Amino acid sequence: MVLRIAVQAKGRLFDDTMSLLHETGIKLESAKRLLLVSATNFPLEVLFLRDDDIPQSVADGIADIGIVGENEFAEKRKRASIVKRLGFSKCRLSLAIPKGMDYPGIHWFDGKTIATTYPKVLGDFLKENKINADIHVITGSVEIAPSIGLADAIFDLVSSGSTLVTNHLKEVEVVMKSEAVLIQHPDLSAEKAAILEELLFRIESVLLADDKKYILMNVPTENISKIVEVLPGMKSPTVLSLAKEGWSSLHAVISEKEFWNIIGKLKALDAEGILVVPIEKMIL
């Protein structure tokens, strides 16, 4: 019994998806780009598809699970459910209009034509906001629609924003925030569900370790309790005594963002020889 996962064959999610699988310790059969590749050390098969086809393939059971942008999943409305948000490939679906236009608010869109590849997500948004606009569905290069007179505005995926800048457009409404998600077929067999559970355990360990760092430092023993207050630790830190009288070595796990906030406080409490090292995996 193997679990089949559909992933994007190329494009925005590909690299991060492959490195996530890699970090879970799952090795794939060959580097050759086949459509379907088996793992050699885990009951998993990887099916490479266009992102647009992933929700359907999971709903139909062609794949048991899939990794896809939430934006695609939301648009396709297929029978599958989100198991886990993966935190990478963050982007948003936004409305954008020509840069030079005044934008007084959402009613600007009344009576306008909007080009998009996401008609369902857009349709819901317009309805909720009681906007009467025409949706013009096109399959690609949405961003050029206003300049060639095909539409007044666009509704599209924005990541870095550089596509908008290049095309003299400005983002005026963020309709949906998106990231890569793991989706599953609605009814997996008990055996497949068990494989998924093991895979999820590994994925969670990788994601948890992602922005976490292991921090080691030498501190005056008398300052330990104050330093512990500064460290927003997940557990109580490890304290080891040093050969040097009155000094201890303190180890803790912190998130990288927190590190920059606390470094000054640690130094003020006479912490020395602060060492920050990456964590590959973390199991709680």
Binding residues for ligand PRP, rule: CB under 6 A, are: 11-12, 51, 140, 142-143, 156-163
Out of ligand PRP, Zn ion, none, what residue 241 binds, judged by CB under 5 to 8 A for its kind, is none
Please, what is the minimum distance in Å from the beta carbon of residue 247 to ligand PRP? 49
Please, what is the minimum distance in Å from the beta carbon of residue 139 to Zn ion? 9
Out of Zn ion, ligand PRP, none, what residue 163 binds, judged by CB under 5 to 8 A for its kind, is ligand PRP
* Binding characters for Zn ion, 39-68, by CB under 5 A (x = yes): ------------x-----------------
Please, what is the minimum distance in Å from the beta carbon of residue 163 to ligand PRP? 3
Of 61 and 161, nearer to ligand PRP (C-beta) is: 161
* Binding characters for Zn ion, 134-163, by CB under 5 A (x = yes): ------------------------------
Please, what is the minimum distance in Å from the beta carbon of residue 203 to Zn ion? 23
Please, what is the minimum distance in Å from the beta carbon of residue 4 to Zn ion? 21
Three-state SS string across the chain, please?
A: CCEEEEEECCCCCHHHHHHHHHHCCCCECCCCCCCEEEECCCCEEEEEECHHHHHHHHHHCCCCEEEEEHHHHHHHCCCCEEEEECCCCCEEEEEEEECCCCCCCHHHHCCCEEEECCHHHHHHHHHHCCCCCEEEECCCCHHHCCCCCCCCEEEEEECCCHHHHHCCEEEEEEEEEECEEEEECCCCCHHHHHHHHHHHHHHHHHHHHHCEEEEEEEEEHHHHHHHHHHCCCCCCCEEEECCCCCEEEEEEEEEHHHHHHHHHHHHHCCCEEEEEEECCCCCC
Of 51 and 143, nearer to Zn ion (C-beta) is: 51
In the complex, the residues that contact Zn ion under the rule CB under 5 A are: 51
